[in-house]
Amino acid sequence: MGVNTSLLLLIGIGYLGILFAVAFAAERLQASNKLLTHPLTYTLALGVYASGFAIYGITGLAADYGMGYFNYYFGLCIALFLTPILISPLHFVCKTYRLNSIADLLSFRYRSQAAGSLAALLSCLAIFPLTALQIEAIAESAKLINESITGNTSEFAREASGLIFCIFIAAFTLAFGSRSLNSSDNHRGMLAMLAMESAIKLLALLVTGAVAVFVVFGGYDGMLNHLHDNPSLMQQLQDRSADEGMRIMFATFFGMALSMPTIFHMLFAENPSIKNIRVASWGLPLFLFGMSLPVMPILWAANSTGFSGGDYAVFAISNHINSDLLALLIFIGGLSAASGAVVVTTLALASMSLNHLVLPWLQPRKPEIDVYRWLLRTRQLLIVAIILIGYLLYAMLPSGQPLSALMIITTTGCAQLAPGLLGVLYWPRGNRVGLYMGLATGTLLWVLWLLLPGIGVPTLAAFNLHPELAFSNEHEWFTAAALSLGANSLIFIIVSILTPASAEERSAAEACTIDDLNRPSRQRLNLASASELGERLTEALGETVAQQEFNRALTELGFTEDETRPYALRRLRDRIEINLSSLIGPSVARRIMDRALPFSASTLGEGEDINFIESRLEHYQTNLTGLAADLDGLRRYHRQTLENLPIGVCSLARDQEILMWNRSMAQISQIDSQTVLGSSLLGLPVAWADCLLAFSASSDSHWSHHQLETERGQLWLNLHKTKSQTEGREELLIVVEDITETQMLENKLTHQERLASIGRLAAGVAHEIGNPVTGIACLAQNLRFDTENPDSLETASQIIKQTQRITAIVQSLVNFAHSGREGPTEAWQSVNICHCVNEAIQLLGLDNEAKYVHFSNLCSATLEVQGDTQRLIQVFVNLLSNSRDASPEDATICIEAFRETNQENIHITVTDSGEGIDQALQERIFEPFFTTKDPGKGTGLGLALVYNIVSDLGGEIALESPVAELNNCGTRVHLLLPIAT
Amino acid sequence: MRVNSALLLFFGILLVFAPALKDWLYDGDKTWLRHHLVWLMVILCIYLNSRRYSKNGR
């Protein structure tokens, strides 16, 4: 080994060290760093597609297939060109359901773990040759450059560089690609490294191309002259390019661009935003354009120097001009390209293998195991294993194998996944049986026809193939690719048509199909609350993981642990399943969730989750165009009409889940629609739940004047219901009309009418009783003069007393009847409240037999109301007298008055500290002859009189008992009287 | 299914002019250059289309 060989290796190691440093620095930068998050950085990182093959092998492909080499770039470019109908919908599905690999996607869409495992296995088989190709490219280039610089032809540089490359890549992938289980923004370092290596390989190839044109040919005209002087070159190019196999080649590379794990991983797992894809849709083709432009000039220049092969033509240029610097630049470019490709490929395969080849068979069972740590360690082991397998494959590759042969094996293998992938977006009829059969057939043909011969394993005699034959004769692999892909697609289609798909599969198919908003059916979960969901999850996942995933889902959805709505619980379950899917793959996640949180066996009919569909439509609105947008506009119009109806509307599913709760309903019930939508009727406050349950269960279509006792008071409702006329939807539409105000008004009118009737009756009774009583009193007077008998005189005196009492009662009745019957007083004047109250207090003080209480008149001397002084004094005498009777000895009765804010009323209160009045009695307290006093102590007309006088004066009266400020005892009478004008 | 009118138009034109385009591509000694010219045009189309999407705020 010469010194220069060591230096070469050191340069290589040094460069790889720089990549480490760049990745490390990027990881240290903030996530919001503009350079890191710029779409162009992502686009450059996506250039990882142009692997070591794009530096060393592409010239070999051009030598064999002429302009056919274009397909290597054009397949991906066309896929990106179809971004609106291909990449964007796939991105949407993958991001919505957290699917990070094509195996995840197929497993999710076809509802089959086997589909995922088959895809993962095929991807591994197809990608290992590509990994081997990268190692081979690095090892061979190291050998060539060593020979070129040092003249040393030993194999040491080749062997050492291959091994060192693998060790470095494994270390890098472990350090920057698998430190955490989250696959999104935690790989900033890796993206920065990929962007840098893309820039370097582009530079290397462009410089080599420029040297080829301007140094080897002496300029562009020199190259054209060379082509003119050697017409066979153009003829050869045209002959090879015009071959019919070019279409197969294009189809194969297009299929690979869609389904290659590396590209899939970069497009969907490492890309947080659709904006990046939009920039990449033109940025990456431009990058690949730059990579493609120098290919033919380099090949022609290399051939002009006597180079006869295809692969590694770039070194023929550096050798020709004898430039070590150019050779080193090419080597570094190749190293960049190969290292990036292997890192991303390894990551993609490790994630896929973990989810679909390891977890279905091997899962941590012991509860004390930290599942996150276990998953991380397993993934890291897989990374090392994948690179090791790549190295072993490289070691066993037959010598002289062209790089394009390995590329073709990978391309054809990956392309086998394309039919299933296209079915995800465009063919909901495709099912898992079709996928198994098609994929198995295509894979079998590919393995026997291309893979095994390609890696030097003797294939079946029936194919009569040899490794050198398979790729030296281009028609051989064209046939193999066409047959395997054709058989795969055809069998997939035919079997899918002939076999039925499960309901679950159909639902997933709808979820993935373009422009189809997933219409999940409402399935019932036997759960009472979100916290119970968390407990069940703990049993399946262990406490740490369950708690983390549970909290994460709650945060993402904005729910709380107290959530009880069935709709919310379903969303929570779905979110946890999606989050788990990004960790352990959709199939295993689904299996765990089905075990821990199974849906109830009872079906809820064909009813769809309307709330979910609406929320998805709201989210999707800006993407709707044409007829869909018009229909959405119509939907919004009808929805708004329902929302704005001045009558409450609520819609109930068969399982009593609330599907609609419009604005009026929210106002009537004082229950916000956002908190109630998707919940069960039982989740409503008891009064509403009982009422709606009873009404929905009853055979009546209407309930009129239904009385409902709620927290905010008594309500009177008219309820109507009708069944949904939509086919397949057993829903109940309930219309609720709030007639509380009308009912209260009716009650008041009825009450007043009753009082008026009683007044009229009292007047009549007073009149009828008055005459005989006057007669009796006269007779009793006469009796006093007719006899000297003391007993008779005493009797006459008693009769006179009793008749006087009857007269007093009758007079009260007459007064009451007059005040209630004659309408509002006509003696309007300004009445000073304070004086009025003082006068009433003085009058009450004349009664020496009454108990002693303090009257505290706190009314302002300036407050005046519109009314009649004498009648108001009567009001206060009655009110204060009642308060005195209700109060204990030596108590204080407080009279206050103040002006109502922004109202033309004076608010007067009379507060005593008695025992208060029962709620039931309060309704009758203003009725004539109703009294709570002992018999003989009250006529029951005082408050009735007050009520009538206040009404006459245009005021209002109300009772408050007990009074909160008086420790829930006492009574407060509120009077509202019009302010003096 | 949402139909992308620009793409449909592009593929329609491509279908009509494919034979003529192929003849032009492989005619003379500028095959290599013409392929890249077509490619550049495709990139330009994609760029303009993506700008349209960005302006629409999608």
What span, in angstroms and rounded, lies between the C-alpha atoms of A296 and A313? 10
A929 touches chain B (CB under 8 A): no
- For residue A269, is pLDDT > 50? yes
Nearest Cβ partner of B43 from A67, A231, A289?
A: A289
| Mean pLDDT computed over A292-311 | 89
Nearest Cβ partner of A227 from B29, B47, B53?
A: B29
Report pTM: 0.69
* pLDDT tens digit sequence for A844-878: 887 777 888 999 999 988 888 988 887 888 888 88
Using the beta-carbon criterion (under 8 Å), do A84 and B7 form an inter-chain contact? yes
Residues with Cβ within 8 Å of residue A529, at least 6 apart in sequence = A561, A562, A563, A564, A569
What span, in angstroms and rounded, lies between the C-alpha atoms of A632 and A655? 28
Strand duo A892-899 + A854-857: pairing: parallel
What is the C-alpha R_g of chain A? 47
A293 touches chain B (CB under 8 A): yes
Mutate: best of B9, B34, B46, partner A, most A CBs <10 A: B46
- Residue A440 tokens, joined: 């198995």
- Chain mean position to CA A714: 38
pLDDT at position A214: 92
pLDDT band at A154 (very low <50, low <70, confident <90, very high): low
| Mean pLDDT computed over A636-652 | 90
- For residue A64, is pLDDT > 70? yes
**In 3-state terms, what secondary structure has residue A471?**
helix
| Mean pLDDT computed over A671-687 | 82
DSSP letter string, A791-839? HHHHHHHHHHHHHHHHHHHHHHHHHHHHHHHS-S-S--EEEEHHHHHHH
Dihedral Cα A206, A211, A213, A216, nearest 10 deg: -150
* pLDDT tens digit sequence for A206-253: 999 999 999 999 988 899 888 888 888 888 777 777 667 788 888 999
What span, in angstroms and rounded, lies between the C-alpha atoms of A358 and A2? 46
Using the beta-carbon criterion (under 8 Å), do B31 and A241 form an inter-chain contact? yes
Complex confidence, ipTM? 0.89
What span, in angstroms and rounded, lies between the C-alpha atoms of A855 and A852? 10
Strand duo A971-978 + A658-661: pairing: unpaired
* pLDDT tens digit sequence for A468-502: 444 555 567 788 888 999 999 999 999 999 998 88
* pLDDT tens digit sequence for A919-947: 878 878 887 777 777 765 666 778 888 88
Stated as kind and residue range, the H or E segment containing A971 is strand A971-978
What span, in angstroms and rounded, lies between the C-alpha atoms of A165 and A154? 18
- For residue A913, is pLDDT > 90? no
Residue A933's φ and ψ, nearest 5 degrees, are -80, 165
**In 3-state terms, what secondary structure has residue A678?**
coil
Q: How far is A51 from chain B (nearest CA, A)?
A: 21
User: Across the beta sheet with A892-899, what order do the strands follow?
Assistant: A854-857, A892-899, A905-912, A971-978, A956-960
Residue A525's φ and ψ, nearest 5 degrees, are -105, 135
What span, in angstroms and rounded, lies between the C-alpha atoms of A241 and A69? 9
Residue type, A501: A
Stated as kind and residue range, the H or E segment containing A660 is strand A658-661
| Mean pLDDT computed over A771-776 | 86
Helix, strand, coil in percent for chain A, rounding step 5: 65, 10, 25
Nearest Cβ partner of B2 from A234, A293, A515?
A: A515
**In 3-state terms, what secondary structure has residue A899?**
strand
Using the beta-carbon criterion (under 8 Å), do A281 and B46 form an inter-chain contact? yes
Residues with Cβ within 8 Å of residue B47, at least 6 apart in sequence = A282
- For residue A467, is pLDDT > 50? no
Using the beta-carbon criterion (under 8 Å), do B29 and A285 form an inter-chain contact? no
pLDDT band at A606 (very low <50, low <70, confident <90, very high): very low
Residues with Cβ within 8 Å of residue A535, at least 6 apart in sequence = none
pLDDT band at A820 (very low <50, low <70, confident <90, very high): very low
- Residue A569 tokens, joined: 């619980």
Alpha-carbon torsion (A61, A67, A68, A72), positive or negative: positive
Nearest CA in chain B to A220: B33
Stated as kind and residue range, the H or E segment containing A110 is none
What span, in angstroms and rounded, lies between the C-alpha atoms of A191 and A168? 17
Residues with Cβ within 8 Å of residue A689, at least 6 apart in sequence = A681, A682, A683
pLDDT band at A5 (very low <50, low <70, confident <90, very high): low
Q: Residues A328, A314: contact at Cβ < 8 Å? A: no
The overall average pLDDT reported for chain A is 83
Q: How many CB atoms lie within 10 A of CB A667?
A: 12
Helix axes A324-353, A188-210, angle to 10 degrees: 140
C-alpha closest to that of A456 among A875, A843, A129, A166: A129
A629 touches chain B (CB under 8 A): no
B32 touches chain A (CB under 8 A): yes
In terms of Cβ atoms closer than 10 Å to its own Cβ (0-12, 13-18, 19+), residue A981 is: exposed
Using the beta-carbon criterion (under 8 Å), do B43 and A625 form an inter-chain contact? no
| Mean pLDDT computed over A16-42 | 79
- Residue A779 tokens, joined: 């007779």
What span, in angstroms and rounded, lies between the C-alpha atoms of A509 and A420? 12
Q: How far is A179 from chain B (nearest CA, A)?
A: 34
pLDDT more than 90, % of chain A: 20
DSSP letter string, A704-750? EEEEEEETTEEEEEEEEEEE--STT---EEEEEEE-HHHHHHHHHHH
- Partners of residue B40 in chain A, C-beta under 8 Å: 289
pLDDT more than 70, % of chain A: 89
**In 3-state terms, what secondary structure has residue A598?**
coil
DSSP letter string, A255-313? HHHHH-HHHHIIIIIS---HHHHHHHHHHHHHHHHHHHTTHHHHHHHHHHTT---STTH
- Alpha carbon distance, N-terminus to C-terminus of chain B: 18
What span, in angstroms and rounded, lies between the C-alpha atoms of A488 and A810? 109
pLDDT at position A2: 44
| Mean pLDDT computed over A165-173 | 88
pLDDT at position A468: 47
Alpha-carbon torsion (A754, A759, A763, A766), positive or negative: positive
Stated as kind and residue range, the H or E segment containing A683 is none
Residue A706's φ and ψ, nearest 5 degrees, are -80, 130
pLDDT at position A31: 59
- For residue A918, is pLDDT > 60? yes
pLDDT at position A27: 76
Q: Could you tell me if residue A735 is left (phi over 0), alpha (psi between -120 and 50 degrees) or otherwise beta? A: beta
User: How far from A526 is each of A141, A448, A543, A920, CA to CA, in Å?
Assistant: 64, 51, 21, 44
Residues with Cβ within 8 Å of residue A951, at least 6 apart in sequence = A752, A957
What span, in angstroms and rounded, lies between the C-alpha atoms of A66 and A880? 114
- For residue A900, is pLDDT > 80? no
What is the C-alpha R_g of chain B? 14
Name the least confident of A166-175, A620-629, A725-734, A842-851: A620-629
DSSP letter string, A631-646? HHHHHHHHHHHHHH-S
* pLDDT tens digit sequence for A200-214: 999 999 999 999 999
What span, in angstroms and rounded, lies between the C-alpha atoms of A206 and A589? 47
pLDDT at position A817: 62
What span, in angstroms and rounded, lies between the C-alpha atoms of A660 and A413? 51
Residues with Cβ within 8 Å of residue A803, at least 6 apart in sequence = A773, A776, A777, A780
Using the beta-carbon criterion (under 8 Å), do B31 and A625 form an inter-chain contact? no
More confident residue, A77 or A928: A77
pLDDT at position A767: 76
- Residue A616 tokens, joined: 């998805």
Q: How many CB atoms lie within 10 A of CB A484?
A: 25
Taking every pair of Cα atoms in chain B, the longest distance, rounded to a whole number of angstroms, is 45
pLDDT at position A242: 66
- Residue A840 tokens, joined: 């009433």
What span, in angstroms and rounded, lies between the C-alpha atoms of A895 and A953? 19
Range A511-525 burial, b when 16+ CB lie within 10 A, else e: bbbbeebbebebbbb
Q: Could you say which DSSP state residue A649 is in?
A: E
Mutate: best of B39, B51, B52, partner A, most A CBs <10 A: B39
**In 3-state terms, what secondary structure has residue A183?**
coil
Nearest Cβ partner of B57 from A231, A286, A622?
A: A622
Using the beta-carbon criterion (under 8 Å), do B43 and A286 form an inter-chain contact? yes
